[in-house]
Amino acid sequence: MSKKVVILFSGQGAQKVGMGKDLVEAYSVAKELFSKADEALGFSLSEIMFDGPDEELTKTSRCQPALYLHGLACLAVLKEKVADLKVTAAAGLSLGEFTAHAAAGTFSFEDGLNVVAQRGQFMEEACESTEGSMAAMIGGDEEAVKQLAADSDVDVANFNAPGQIVLSGTVEGIDKAVAGAKERGIRMAKKLNVAGAYHSRLMQSAQDKLSAVLADTEIATPNVPVYCNFKATQVADAAEIRETLEKQVTGSVRWTESMQALIAEGNTTFVELGPGKVLAGLMGRIDKSVEVISIEDAASLEEAIQKLA
């Protein structure tokens, strides 16, 4: 009898050249999904994922659909190999929330891919039209970081884990926050190498455009609970799903609260689907008592199959 698991999907930044190539070579179900994505998009996303160059894959308009495709390909193989896999809930970090909804049947693979591709394009355009930046605040009290954000006129982008909060906003505002971090008792403030101010008010144009796309996308009731970033609760109603997916573009990613809520529901085994083991690292700071199985390539998939079967 297989374990009950919560499936987690990676967010932007986890991508790397070569991702998915060994999955396609080893599993026909992954190959079919990659072919379907290339056909739906009208260009070879597969080629960019497999061969790069890195600067092309790193583009917001490319990495978001790439991570969506990779996560769902990993899940498709896992479900094929572990026939009685029991998924109790799904969640994803930022972009990964869309992948979680596709995994839960909220929308079809193709519809989700279309939404994600457009979301990435809209966010890329917003980055190009604004001068934004982001910085990680490490080892600080949450209230102190929130006050620092307010005083610097920037937004809190991510509550990733205890002691790891990310701020987002104008270059001037982020520089001010970094400069004032130590006096607020924050151990380290580090500017991030990103294209713009994700999850901040500077993404408003992207949110507005995404709202129109979501309004035209068919939304079904998820077949497993999906926990959203914006409210850190599960969402099932179509109107609420559209609202939370829209508002997380400018709103905070409340990852810590989401994971704590899932753990409070009695979940003890989580499966991370995506490159980099980022979510496993965050979980180690949130709650060390739970098990996280990371799947990022064919080798780790086979190891996961042995643990879950």
Determine whether 10 is an active site residue.
no
Q: Indicate if the alpha-carbon torsion angle 85, 91, 95, 101 is positive or negative.
A: positive
Determine whether 94 is an active site residue.
yes
Which residue of the set 61, 70, 199, 258 is catalytic?
A: 199
Neighbours of 193 (CB within 10 A): 9
Neighbours of 309 (CB within 10 A): 13
Tokens representing 126? Answer: 């917003």
Which residue of the set 10, 46, 61, 94 is catalytic?
A: 94
Candidates 132, 136, 152, 98; CA nearest to 204 is 132
Residue type, 194: V
The reply to whether omega before 162 is within 30° of 0 (cis) is: no
- 156 touches 177 (CB < 8 A): no
Helix axes 60-81, 95-103, angle to 10 degrees: 30
The SS3 call for residue 293 is strand
Tokens representing 13? Answer: 């930044």
CA distance linking residue 244 with residue 159, whole number of Å: 16
Whole-angstrom CA distances from 93 to 96, 190, 230, 249 are 5, 20, 11, 12
Whole-angstrom CA distances from 137 to 40, 60, 78, 85 are 39, 23, 36, 38
CA distance linking residue 177 with residue 29, whole number of Å: 47
Catalytic residue list: 94, 199
